[in-house]
C-alpha cells in the first residue's frame, strides 16, 4: 500500500516514452511555450479530468479546478488564473463545466456541517436561495440536484461576466463564455447555452464603464 504512489512514477515513464515514440520532438515543442485557446474552470472531482473528457492534449487548455467549479469574486486563486489566461495568454473561450453527481452540490443542499468547505459551499446555497421557487417545485430530489448543478454553472458564468477582467477584454476583442455540464453516467457534455459575449448580458449594476 505504501508503494501505491509508485504506479504514478511508472505511469509517467511510460507516458514519456510513448509520446517520444509518436513524436521525438513532442516535449521540445511543448517546452517552447503555451498558447491555449481555452480556459477550463471545472470541479476537482477525480472523475472529470479536463483534458480527458474533451480529448485534448497538453498545451491545449489552461485549467482551474475547485470544488463545484466556482467563480468566487474574493478568490484570488481563480481571479489570478482568469487574469493570466485572458490578459497574457489571450484565451478565446472560457468554459465553466459542472457535472451531475457533484458532491459539492449535494453537500450544499443539506444542513450538515463539513468544515471549512461550508464557507465555500455557502456560495452554492446562495444560488439555491436565488432559485428557491423553481427548485422546490421539483419534488424529485435527484432532479432538483441536477437542476441546481445547472443553475450553479449559469451563475458562475454570470460571475465571470461581472469581473473587470472579462469586461476589459470585451472592449477590445471577442471572448466567449460557456456553461456546460458533464454527465458522469454518459461521459457526455451538455451545452447549457448560457453564452455571454458582452456586458449587455448582465444587469447594469454589474457593468463597468
Ligand atoms: Co463536483
Write down the residue that cell numbers 500500500 correspond to: 1
Count of domains forming the chain:
2
62-108 residue pLDDT tens: 999 999 999 999 999 999 999 999 999 999 999 999 999 999 999 99
Residues 23 and 38 in one domain: no
Average pLDDT value for residue range 173-194: 96
Calculate how far, in angstroms, residue 65's C-alpha sits from the geometric centre of ligand 1: 10
Calculate how far, in angstroms, residue 44's C-alpha sits from the geometric centre of ligand 1: 6
36-60 residue pLDDT tens: 999 999 999 999 999 999 999 999 9
pTM, entire model: 0.95
More confident residue, 196 or 176: 176
Residues 21 and 95 in one domain: no
Q: How many angstroms separate the CA atoms of 130 and 117, rounded?
A: 20
Q: How many angstroms separate the CA atoms of 60 and 48, rounded?
A: 17
Is 47 part of the annotated catalytic residue set?
Answer: yes
Residues 22 and 50 in one domain: no
State the residue range of the domain holding 25. 1-32
Is 99 part of the annotated catalytic residue set?
Answer: yes
Calculate how far, in angstroms, residue 159's C-alpha sits from the geometric centre of ligand 1: 18
Percent of the chain topping pLDDT 90: 93
Is 14 part of the annotated catalytic residue set?
Answer: no
121-135 residue pLDDT tens: 999 999 999 999 999
Query: Which are the contacts of 55, defined by CB distance < 8 A and separation ≥ 6?
Result: none
Residues 166 and 111 in one domain: yes
Residues 18 and 74 in one domain: no
Query: Can you give the CATH number for the domain in which 191 is found?
Result: 3.40.1050.10
Residues 26 and 80 in one domain: no
Residues 45 and 19 in one domain: no
Residues 24 and 58 in one domain: no
Amino acid at each position: 500500500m505504501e508503494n501505491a504512489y509508485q504506479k504514478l512514477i511508472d505511469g509517467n515513464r511510460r507516458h514519456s516514452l510513448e509520446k517520444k515514440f509518436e513524436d521525438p520532438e513532442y516535449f521540445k515543442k511543448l517546452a517552447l511555450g503555451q498558447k491555449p485557446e481555452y480556459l477550463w474552470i471545472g470541479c476537482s472531482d477525480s472523475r472529470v479530468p479536463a483534458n480527458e473528457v474533451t480529448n485534448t492534449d497538453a498545451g491545449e487548455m489552461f485549467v482551474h479546478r475547485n470544488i463545484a467549479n466556482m467563480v468566487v469574486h474574493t478568490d484570488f486563486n481563480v481571479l489570478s488564473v482568469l487574469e493570466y489566461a485572458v490578459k497574457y495568454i489571450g484565451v478565446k473561450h472560457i468554459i465553466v463545466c459542472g457535472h451531475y453527481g457533484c458532491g459539492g452540490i449535494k453537500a450544499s443542499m443539506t444542513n450538515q456541517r463539513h468544515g471549512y468547505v461550508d464557507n465555500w459551499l455557502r456560495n452554492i446555497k446562495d444560488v439555491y436561495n436565488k432559485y428557491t421557487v423553481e427548485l422546490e417545485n421539483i419534488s424529485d430530489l435527484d432532479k432538483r440536484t441536477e437542476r441546481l448543478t445547472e443553475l450553479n454553472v449559469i451563475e458562475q458564468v454570470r460571475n465571470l461576466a461581472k469581473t473587470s477582467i472579462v469586461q476589459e477584454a470585451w472592449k477590445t476583442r471577442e471572448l466567449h463564455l460557456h456553461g456546460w455540464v458533464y454527465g458522469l453516467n454518459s461521459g457526455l457534455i451538455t451545452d447549457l447555452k448560457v453564452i455571454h459575449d458582452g456586458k449587455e448580458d448582465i444587469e447594469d449594476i454589474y457593468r463597468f464603464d
